[in-house]
Amino acid sequence: MRIPVLIETTSEDRYRATGLAPIAESAEGDTPEAAVEKLQEKVRNRFANGAQLATIELPENANPWLAGSGVLHGDPLFEDWRQAMAEYRSEADQASNAP
What is the chain's percent helix, strand, coil content, to nearest 5? 45, 20, 35
Single-letter amino acid, residue 92: A
Residue 24: inside a domain: yes
- pLDDT score of 61: 63
CB distance 33 to 50 below 8 Å: no
Number of C-beta neighbours around residue 53 at 10 A: 9
Residue 66: inside a domain: no
Number of C-beta neighbours around residue 51 at 10 A: 11
Domain count, the chain: 1
pLDDT per residue as tens digits for the range 24-45:
889 999 999 999 999 999 999 9
Residue 85: inside a domain: no
Residue 44: inside a domain: yes
Q: Give this prediction's pTM.
A: 0.49
- pLDDT score of 87: 94
